[in-house]
Structure 1
């Protein structure tokens, strides 16, 4: 696991985001000789968008592809603002304090927005700004800290443009990628690069491992979090999540949670507000105790009644009258995956769903045991 990932949440407020957009529009207007003044906030502009200018014929094919992908997907990328409400005494009004900002993308026509958990973490009020400048209050629908995912929802009659997901299992190192987001509050910013590596592991805000992460050299900076990482067809291959940096800005090493994880978990967040993880129905001892005892595996402390583990014949730890352990089960393998510490057990169970059957190997008093277990739902 990489030691120094940095979450790339911006700290700009919604007002600062609007000021940056207005400034950028004003600078653009000043640069166009004979043109009109800068557009400022586009919320009040003509709702009938002009058709995009034709792509010049003398561009390289790779340039034309980049332009086409940006035109196709940028309407699906949003700005997410997160504020906390400070409630004072009855003499003072409640005050809203910006907690962070980032990016997100439109999941469906019903208004669901996918972003990172760390973008919304700590907030009580949320706002989503579409590329046309309109801003909506957003409801927090569900979060999954273990995989750094969250879903918001806006209510709008406007036509929304959902993204398309790619099969992230088919990716190749060296493949072209594009990232669209709002670094430093600068909306609809495009950066490009390649897939630098696959199968990386990073640590989530919850302290668990996120596996099969995509590494890219496309520039990712504060405010990019939650935005899409795209292939050359404009399909989402991942959600930009973290950077490896000593300064907090891009050093050419960025990470994205893969589309396969998004596709599996987001529908659960929309339906249930949480992810239903598979579990054995056991409580275990911390890894450092197993290490002190010279045990390689996960020590079972308690087996809950009527749990999958109980039905498979696993037992709670036995202790004598002085409280000294005299017998316990040690989980060493699940299916074909060795288990040497708790994070290994969590990672392998993450690949299954409640109701799936797995083979669990465990040791008891030096004897090896093997049982088929039908997984249940892990407790929250």
Structure 2
């Protein structure tokens, strides 16, 4: 006869445990399907109110809205391909081959645009065509008004436009502080009206420009500056122009957190002169300086006079350059206008501070002896070898 005795407690526990395990396994397998069935958002989700923007965000948004209409995209085509400039415009905003692009900004209601000299150098040298795309999208031809290679600045002027022109507000670079916020607007890699932010990371940097000159007082920033930002504005938190973005320090060619801008006080002095005369007069004394690296290797602290330009103030004052026959060093300028001169940038800064037609006292060393020489600054572009 079969055993009809009730199951032992141990057997009942094993059965319940097995059933529970099977149930849990079934729930585990079915969980994704149940979750998908019960919680799938297969209709548009309700929008969550975000509240007001933070004050800093609001200020940045308003700054961009005010300043961006004054920023333009500059295109320069080599003379041989100038006809294609106005007709070729691809999706990336870059014109057809052989072109140089950069950024500029509206200087005045007459249509003058400020940009970097190196952006429009092809037009200056070979008569290439220049076109400008305004913030409205309108493309306008432009002509070169003047260039100042020593400051890497240039002015172009728009042709007839249909849009109203909005010049940027001008600030000052005399009271800038390291750590204050700055904003750069430009066209990096052809991407129109890009805003980057950062701080002033250093002041009083020196930036080499053409003709062996150095621009002093340059602003250093960590705001992202990339190819295509050249010639664009660097703004303070009030939306005022405080510099013109001109260069980056980067082994890769892209932003590495160190960008440079020409201070607006220089821009505000040079640009009106370019508009009036098409060129800027550089105060100087008419010398060609020796290489600083060579002077440093020789243990010389000062500017070695390599050559003296004929008819220059330096020639009138009796300054002597390096002897072409023997290589003997002549004069070394160690002071100018009550300032020490350690390198060429110190001398050019003293000349610019004095201005054209001003008398400047130089401290000059020759053969171990020091003397004071008074010279009158002149436009060095008019001097000849």
- TM-score of the superposed pair, with normalisation by structure 1: 0.74
Question: Are the aligned partners of 2:214 and 2:344 in contact in 1 as well (CA < 8 Å)?
Answer: no
Partner of 2:224: 219
* CA displacement at 1:236 relative to structure 2: 0.5
Q: How far apart are the structure 2 equivalents of 1:300 and 1:206?
A: 15
Higher helix share: 2
Aligned residue number for residue 116 of structure 1: 116
Structure 2 alignment gaps of length 5 or more: 1-43, 45-49, 82-94
**Deviation of the 1:315 alpha carbon:** 4.0
Distance 1:194 1:297 in 2: 34
Return the alpha-carbon distance in structure 2 between the equivalents of residues 305 and 86 of structure 1: 38
Distance, in Å, in 2 between the alignment partners of 1:214 and 1:132 is: 30
Q: Tell me the CA shift for residue 99 of structure 1.
A: 2.4
Closer/same/farther in 2, CA of residues 282 and 140 from structure 1, 3 Å limit: same
Q: Among 60, 67, 73, which residue is 2:67 paired with?
A: 73
TM-score normalised by L of structure 2: 0.73
Q: CA separation of 1:203/1:288 partners in 2, compared to 1, >3 Å: closer, same or farther?
A: closer
SS in 2 for 1:71: helix
CA 1:244 to 1:297, structure 2 compared with 1: closer, same or farther past 3 Å? closer
Q: For structure 1, list consecutive stretches of 5 or more residues without a partner in the other structure.
A: 1-32, 34-55, 88-94
Task: Give the Cα separation in 1 of the matches to 2:250 and 2:184.
Answer: 18
**Residue correspondence of structure 1 range 42-191 to structure 2 within 5 A:** 58-86=52-80, 97-123=97-123, 124-157=128-161, 158-191=163-196
Aligned to 2:255: 250
Question: Would you say how many aligned residue pairs link Structure 1 and Structure 2?
Answer: 316
Paired residue secondary structure (1:361):
strand
CA spacing shift, 1:62–1:206, aligned 2, 3 Å: farther
Is the CA contact 1:199–1:211 (under 8 Å) kept in the aligned structure 2?
yes
Q: Is contact 1:224–1:240 with CA below 8 Å preserved after alignment? A: yes
CA distance in 1, matches of 2:139, 2:148: 25
Tell me: higher relative CO, structure 1 or 2? Use CA pairs within 8 A at least 6 residues apart: 1
SS in structure 2 of the partner of residue 219 of structure 1: coil
Contact kept? 1:77, 1:130, Cα under 8 Å: yes
Deviation at 1:349, TM superposition (A): 2.5
RMSD (Å) for aligned C-alpha atoms: 2.9
Secondary structure of the 1:379 match is helix
Deviation at 1:126, TM superposition (A): 0.8
Asked if the contact 2:305/2:322 (under 8 Å) is kept, the reply is no
**Measured at CA, do residues 61 and 293 of structure 1 come closer, stay the same or move farther in structure 2, by a change above 3 Å?**
closer
Change (3 A) 1:66 1:357: same
- 2:284 is matched with which residue: 279, 282, 285? 279
| Bigger strand share | 1
Distance 1:283 1:367 in 2: 22
Is 112-121 or 244-253 further displaced after alignment? 244-253
User: 1:363 matched to which residue of 2?
Assistant: 365
Q: 1:297 to 1:75 in 2, by over 3 A?
A: same
Q: 1:267 aligns with which of 269, 272, 280?
A: 272
